C-alpha cells in the first residue's frame, strides 16, 4: 500500500534492490534502510535473508506504509520515524541502503512536509546527501558496506569525496540511464535555463555508490591521524562534526516516474 505523498518505488528503488545482492549480500546481516518510503528496499533485504532489518523515514505516512507493507507480506522489520540516523543513534549495521531525496530543487527553504520531501534535495540536490555521507561511517560496523543511489546530476564526485573524507573507501558500482519522470520533466525547463542540463535533455544517469568501512578498524585510525594532521595545519576544523543529526512492492518491476 502507498498513501498519498509516499514515494512510489521507481527506477532508483529497483536499481538499488538489484545491486544489493551483487555488492552487499544481506544474508545474516544487520541492515538499515534509510528513507524507506513504502519499505520496498527494506523488504528486499528481508527477503534476502537479513538477520535484522531496520527502516527509517522522516515521514509519518511512510512509516505507516512500511509497517503495513511488512505486515501484509509477513516480513519482520523495525520501522522507526526520524531524521536520518537519529532514531538509530549509537547503533551499527553491516549494510546500510539509501535512496535519499536528491532531485535538484530551487532556492526555496528546506521542504519540511508533503510529498516533495520524498525527492527534494535542496538547491544543489545535496541537502540530505551531504549529511548522509558524513554520518554513515559511525553507523557502519567494521567491514560494513553502504550502498547509496542518486542521480549523477546531484554530484557523483561530491559523494565520493565526502565518503572518502569520512574514512570510507568509495566507488561507483552501477550506472543506469533513466528517462525523466514527471518531477524532472516539470523541472526540465528551469534546469535548462540554469545550464544544469543540456537543451532537450530528458534523461538522467542513476549511479549506485558503494562505500566500505575497513574490517580491522585501521581506517578509523588513519582517519583520526588525518584529522590530527589537519587540525595541526589549522584546516578541516569540525569537518566531520555531526551538525544536525536529529531525533526526530515486492519485486523489481518498478518504473521511475519522478
Ligand atoms: C527517494 S524516496 C525513497 C523511498 C524508498 N527507499 C524507495 O527507494 O522507494 C526518499 C525517502 O526519504 C525520506 N526522507 C526524506 N528526508 C529524510 C530524512 N531527513 N530522514 C529520513 N528520511 C527522509 C522520504 O520521506 C522518502 O520516503
Per-residue pLDDT at 243 exceeds 80:
no
* Confidence band, pLDDT 50/70/90 cuts, at residue 241: very low
Q: Pick 183 or 59 by higher pLDDT.
A: 59
When the pLDDT of each residue in the chain is averaged and rounded to a whole number, the result is 85
Percent of the chain topping pLDDT 90: 64
Least confident of 32-41, 161-170, 196-205, 249-258: 249-258
Q: Residue of the nearest CA to atom 11 in ligand 1?
A: 35
How many whole angstroms from 82 Cα to the centroid of ligand 1? Answer: 11
Pocket flag, ligand 1, residue 125 (CB < 6 Å): no
CA distances from 100 to 80, 97, 158, 233 (A): 16, 9, 15, 34
Ligand 1 pocket test: pick from 6, 7, 70, 77 the residue with the most ligand atoms within 8 Å of its Cβ: 7
Q: What is the pLDDT of residue 183?
A: 83
From the list 156, 28, 168, 48, the residue with the least C-alpha distance to 94 is 28
* Confidence band, pLDDT 50/70/90 cuts, at residue 255: very low
Please give the Cα distance from 232 to 134 (Å, whole number).
21
Least confident of 16-20, 49-53, 113-117, 122-126: 113-117
Q: Pick 64 or 3 by higher pLDDT.
A: 64
Pocket flag, ligand 1, residue 122 (CB < 6 Å): no
Four-way CATH pick for 11-232: 3.30.930.10, 3.40.50.300, 3.40.50.1110, 3.40.50.150: 3.40.50.150
How many whole angstroms from 208 Cα to the centroid of ligand 1? Answer: 16
Which atom of ligand 1 approaches the CA of 59 most closely? 25
In the numeric block, which cell numbers belong to residue 14?
529497483
Least confident of 58-62, 90-94, 240-244: 240-244
Which atom of ligand 1 approaches the CA of 98 most closely? 6
Q: Are 128 and 148 in contact (CB under 8 A)?
A: no
* Residues recorded for the chain: 258
3-class DSSP assignment, residue 157: helix
User: How does pLDDT run across 166-213, given as a tens digit for each residue?
Assistant: 999 999 999 999 999 888 888 888 888 888 888 999 999 999 999 999
Please give the Cα distance from 104 to 187 (Å, whole number).
9
Which atom of ligand 1 approaches the CA of 35 most closely? 12
What residues does each domain of the chain span?
Answer: 11-232
* Confidence band, pLDDT 50/70/90 cuts, at residue 35: very high
The pTM for the full model equals 0.84
CA distances from 154 to 11, 111, 225, 244 (A): 16, 17, 30, 21
Q: Are 144 and 214 in contact (CB under 8 A)?
A: no
Tell me how crowded residue 153 is: count the other CB atoms within 10 A of its CB: 20
Most confident of 49-63, 108-122, 192-206, 243-257: 49-63
3-class DSSP assignment, residue 207: strand
Is residue 199 packed enough to be buried (19+ CB in 10 Å), middle (13-18) or exposed (0-12)?
Answer: exposed
Pocket flag, ligand 1, residue 83 (CB < 6 Å): yes
How many whole angstroms from 122 Cα to the centroid of ligand 1? Answer: 14
Pocket flag, ligand 1, residue 84 (CB < 6 Å): yes
* Confidence band, pLDDT 50/70/90 cuts, at residue 229: low
Mean pLDDT of 214-220: 68
* Confidence band, pLDDT 50/70/90 cuts, at residue 222: low
Pocket flag, ligand 1, residue 131 (CB < 6 Å): no
- Rounded to whole angstroms, the maximal C-alpha distance in the chain is 56
Q: What is the pLDDT of residue 3?
A: 87
Amino acid at each position: 500500500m502507498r498513501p498519498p505523498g509516499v514515494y512510489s518505488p521507481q527506477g532508483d528503488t529497483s536499481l538499488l534492490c538489484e545491486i544489493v545482492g551483487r555488492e552487499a549480500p544481506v544474508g545474516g546481516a544487520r541492515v538499515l534502510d534509510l528513507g524507506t518510503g513504502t519499505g520496498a528496499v527494506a523488504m528486499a533485504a528481508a527477503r534476502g535473508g537479513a538477520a535484522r532489518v531496520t527502516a527509517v523515514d522522516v515521514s509519518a505516512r511512510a512509516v505507516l506504509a512500511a509497517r503495513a507493507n511488512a505486515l501484509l507480506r509477513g516480513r519482520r522489520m523495525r520501522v522507526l520515524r526520524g531524521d536520518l540516523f537519529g532514531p538509530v543513534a549509537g547503533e551499527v549495521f553491516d549494510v546500510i541502503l539509501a535512496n535519499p531525496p536528491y532531485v535538484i530543487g530551487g532556492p526555496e527553504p528546506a521542504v519540511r512536509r508533503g510529498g516533495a520531501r520524498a525527492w527534494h534535495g535542496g538547491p544543489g540536490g545535496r541537502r540530505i546527501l551531504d549529511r548522509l555521507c558524513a554520518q554513515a561511517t559511525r553507523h557502519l560496523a567494521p567491514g560494513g558496506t553502504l550502498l547509496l543511489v542518486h542521480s549523477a546530476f546531484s554530484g557523483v564526485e561530491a559523494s565520493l569525496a565526502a565518503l572518502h573524507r569520512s574514512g570510507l573507501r568509495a566507488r561507483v558500482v552501477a550506472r543506469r540511464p533513466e528517462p525523466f519522470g514527471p518531477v524532472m520533466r516539470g523541472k526540465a525547463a528551469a534546469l535548462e535555463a540554469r545550464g544544469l542540463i543540456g537543451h532537450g535533455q530528458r534523461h538522467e544517469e542513476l549511479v549506485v555508490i558503494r562505500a566500505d568501512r575497513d574490517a580491522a578498524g585501521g581506517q578509523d585510525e588513519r582517519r583520526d591521524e588525518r584529522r590530527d594532521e589537519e587540525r595541526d595545519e589549522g584546516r578541516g576544523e569540525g569537518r566531520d562534526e555531526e551538525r544536525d543529526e536529529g531525533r526526530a512492492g515486492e519485486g523489481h518491476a518498478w518504473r521511475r516516474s519522478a
